[in-house]
Structure 1
């Protein structure tokens, strides 16, 4: 169905090619998972499938990409629209109409299909993806998971033979991600659609994949059976890392497979004890919020929430899409709407609600990095952003740049922020916020677009912030990140706090928010591979 024959892609502003002599064949009806570090060339590979590379992105393509018998050199994207459907990372950004039904019909209108055919396909797609009740809903009122399914449906109505998905679950909570992946696997198994999906969170997808394509970062590609490829690469989901620690061969790809083989590992751990929960904080809170209320037309996003954040503590804020996490963070920072409640922060303007302060002074109390860090970056170069941050925060010249060099050393001063990787943009936005030296730092979905190694670097950064005495809140759907980072977990639902406790207390009690290690080793209370590795070492020393 898809064939890459000695494909090399070279962009004019890059020293090395993004893809180098790639040979790849994806058969009809396969689910192909594309993995690799941030910036390794995954998006280039995906865009080459429907001709966006090089027709839209520029650059030079050598070799041949053939899709369903059509050569992309002689068939530009418009000639592949009936064969390849593409869904990007942000479905809302790709919508062109107002309601679900209109969006499902739009692609067929561009292909000039008869009205009767369009009506029939819309009904079939609504039923196939389980979104019939959303037919008349405005697209902007849908949850993240619903938007993702509508985006998939909008390309399916054209009956493509190939579906390309770029990070389809990166913005979704665990339950919504499972719903989307269930719909995708149904397309593969029931309809024979060929699916190519790029995803950093391999733990969510790898068990469904027929083929794993790994981009090493030097332009080369390794592909094959997922377990075989994972055995020889430097990125892996927690389940595979656990299999390596336990010495399992072949490596397990699903919790079910791992549990069947985990009896001996549980016996080895039976006398070991995970690290104790962090003791209750002492002293005054860095931020105290009482009865916070946030309303939007027709919706109460935050309903009377109380929160205390303490210096040196890392708190994870979790909950399904639309539960009120982002609204709460913006209300605490002072820039977002807040119809009720009070916020008090200990800092340079201690005792003052940040909402009552000018933006510059509010940043000295609470720094917030939004879901899209690029929203904070509006100048032409990295150096200009750093200089402006120093000026706005009234910090000594070079403060922001010094912070940035601690996070990601050697970032070119003249590089445009939009040309940075996701991790580099996050680091720059974080440095801009930290220049004001706020005692409270709020991070909203900070690991979207980050690979496993980049998330480890991010974890080290957050721990450093806490070590400096800052109160840190990380709002995220990434349960594996939370398991290895957070000391306290707060779960929201319908604008209210429904759980608040240590990471072990909250995550072990929830099937939705339990990490893979916890699912495999239950009822033993382990959360991470690092905990298990330390325990096995300790048991071995005692033996």
Structure 2
């Protein structure tokens, strides 16, 4: 179905992909694996012709999809064969509400009204979007928008579905629903699916094969992940325990884990240390028209506390962060950071009191180069020249001369985080900070955040990052707090928010914890 023949893709004389030859047969779910910047997005975009027709660059070799050469067939001539969902779903929206967005691709293909109506209803049910059918896209949470984007690609009934980070903004339950739906498409309809995903723990068990970039090796999922620079916790746990063959699912790992479980002692109980209160929010209410996003939430955070805010998509996490930061809507309630309400501060002062990194970090980038963004951050905060650049280098490898819009999702996040940390805020708020980051980058981010003299509150669906980083977890549902306590206590008691190691070994959270105990 998909064939790359000696493909090399070059930008400004620098090859992003070199001499790739691979064939993905019909009816297979192929997982594309590699570090951030290894060329995964370029590989995916070459499948439907976005590379090189819209991205520029030079394509050598041939890419064939269902017998069509992408060099001579632009994306519009492949739209009936290939459905594509990029990292940023909002960038691909063309309509105003959910139902119209789902219908748009079929309108472009000239399908009849009866067929369009039937497919829209099927897709709404398949992805759990029926309750959102008339909602404006701008009012949806990031995860809801991602499900709509996947649905819009599916309504055209393509034979190939290409997904770039499809679960990055989804809560664990919603991610399972989407991936189960994708698996049904593969098994029941014979659709070919190609997925690039940094959260491999969510996808690996569904894949038929894995393709490693930039090396270009393809093989069994366990075989590839064992030697890859990125691997989910269950694979790393298998390497520590010496399990053969290497399991890629929690079920297979549990079958091998009894001897290891018997060797491990009970972990030390956790308690939240009492420290000076830095952030206090009381009875915060956020209402958008008839929608109650946050319903009287009260939280306090101590100095250097690391809090993870979890909950399903639409539970009010982002609305709470923006209300705390001061520039978002707060219908009622009070927020103080060191006895000051952030809403009363000017933007520059607010950034040095409570800084927020949004779900779309690129919203905060407006200069021509990375160097200019870093220099501007130093100037605005009165820090010595090079402060922002040093922080950025600790998070990611990014060229000084690169345009911020040309960076990968992970690199843009690292740049915005460095810009925000330059001001040394009392409180740092992060909304889905691990989107686009691979495992080594997330480990580096966790270490940076752990060493900050800052109180941090992050909203995330990344249970593995929470296990690695958080000291405390707050779970929200329907705009209210439903759980608040030490990280291990909260996540291990939940089948949805438990990390992979915990699902295999009970109270243990990370592979590093297990290694230390052994």
* Shared fold (TM-score, shorter chain, > 0.5): yes
Shift of the alpha carbon at 1:437?
A: 2.1
Worse-matched range after superposition: 75-84 or 501-510: 75-84
> In the superposition, relative to structure 1, how do residues 285 and 126 fare at CA in structure 2: closer, same or farther (>3 Å)?
closer
1:39 is paired with a residue whose SS is coil
| 1:58 Cα deviation from its structure 2 partner | 1.0
Deviation at 1:143, TM superposition (A): 4.9
Range that drifts further, 31-40 or 436-445: 436-445
Cα displacement (A) at 1:198: 0.8
Q: Which residue of 1 aligns with 2:376?
A: 388
Q: 1:208 aligns with which of 185, 206, 209?
A: 206
For the pair 1:428 / 2:415, whether they are aligned, the reply is yes
**Map of 1:353 onto structure 2:** 341
1:462 aligns with 2:449: yes
Of the structure 1 ranges 509-518 and 322-331, higher mean CA displacement relative to structure 2 is found in 322-331
5 Å-filtered alignment, 1:137-152, equals 137-152=135-150
Q: CA deviation at 1:134?
A: 4.4
* Candidates 263, 276, 292, aligned match of 2:258: 263
Superimposed CA distance per residue, residues 453-508 of structure 1 (whole angstroms, 9 cap, x where no aligned partner): 1111111110111xxx3211122110000001111111111111111110111001
- Identify which of 312, 335, 340 aligns with 1:343: 335
Contact 1:163 1:194 in 2 (8 A): yes
- Matched with 2:225 is 230
Provide Cα deviations, 1:325-372, integer angstroms capped at 9, x if missing partner: 1111112121111122222222xxxx2211111111122211211122
Whole-Å separation in 1 of the counterparts to 2:272 and 2:99: 52
CA distance in 2, matches of 1:128, 1:518: 30
SS at structure 2 position matched to 1:18: strand
Residue 41 of structure 1 corresponds to 39
CA offsets per residue over residues 266-291 of structure 1, 9 Å max, x none? Answer: 1111xx13244144223x21112211
Query: What is the SS of the residue equivalent to 2:227?
Result: coil
Specify the SS of the correspondent of 2:111: coil
Q: In 1, distance between residues paired with 2:163 and 2:134?
A: 25
Q: Aligned runs of 1:119-268 on 2, under 5 Å?
A: 119-129=117-127, 131-132=129-130, 134-216=132-214, 220-268=215-263
- What is the alpha-carbon distance in structure 1 between the residues aligned to residue 125 and residue 438 of structure 2? 34
Q: Secondary structure at the match of 2:150?
A: helix
Structure 1: how far apart are the matches of 2:383 and 2:242? 52
How far the C-alpha of 1:317 sits from its partner, in A, is 1.1
- 1:381·1:417 contact (CA, 8 Å) conserved in 2? yes
Match of 1:62 among 60, 66, 72: 60
Match of 1:274 among 262, 267, 272: 267
Q: Is the 8 A contact 2:31 2:204 kept in 1?
A: yes
Counterparts in 2 of 1:52 and 1:286: CA distance versus 1, 3 Å: same
Contact 2:127 2:177 in 1 (8 A): no
CA contact (8 A) 1:291 1:305 kept: yes
Structure 1 outlier segments of 4+, above 6 Å: none
Q: Please give the TM-score of this superposition, normalised by the length of structure 2.
A: 0.95
1:270-322, Cα deviation, whole Å (9 max, x unpaired): xx13244144223x211122111222111122222112111122111111111
Query: Per the alignment, in what secondary structure is the counterpart of residue 450 of structure 2?
Result: helix
CA shift for structure 1 position 406: 4.6
Q: Deviations over 1:421-460 (max 9, x none)?
A: 3333223222322232222111111110000111111111
Q: CA deviation at 1:146?
A: 4.4
What corresponds to 1:317 in structure 2?
309
**Paired residues, what number?**
518
Q: Provide the residue aligned with 2:367 in structure 1.
A: 379
Tell me: CA distance 1:249–1:285, structure 2 relative to 1, closer, same or farther (3 Å): same
Deviation at 1:258, TM superposition (A): 1.0
The answer as to whether partners of 1:304 and 1:496 remain within 8 angstroms in 2 is yes
Contact 1:34 1:199 survives alignment (8 Å): yes
Partner residue of 1:529 out of 504, 511, 515: 511
Higher-Rg structure is 1
Query: Does 1:516 find its partner at 2:508?
Result: no
Of 437, 457, 470 in structure 2, the residue corresponding to residue 450 of structure 1 is 437
> Relative to structure 1, is the Cα distance of residues 141 and 190 closer, same or farther in structure 2, using a 3 angstrom cutoff?
farther
Q: 1:412 to 1:116 in 2, by over 3 A?
A: closer
C-alpha separation in 1, matches of 2:455 and 2:23: 49
Structure 1 residue 172: deviation in Å? Answer: 0.7
Please, which moves more after superposition, 484-493 or 434-443? 434-443
Kept after mapping to 2: 8 A contact 1:144/1:176 = no
Stretches of structure 2 that go unaligned for 5 or more consecutive residues are none
Partners of 1:106 and 1:360 in 2: CA distance: 42
Q: After the TM superposition, which of the residue ranges 153-162 and 134-143 deviates more from structure 2?
A: 134-143
CA contact (8 A) 1:91 1:148 kept: yes
1:366 aligns with 2:361: no
**Displacement, 1:126?**
4.0
Q: CA RMSD in A?
A: 2.0
Q: Secondary structure at the match of 1:286?
A: strand
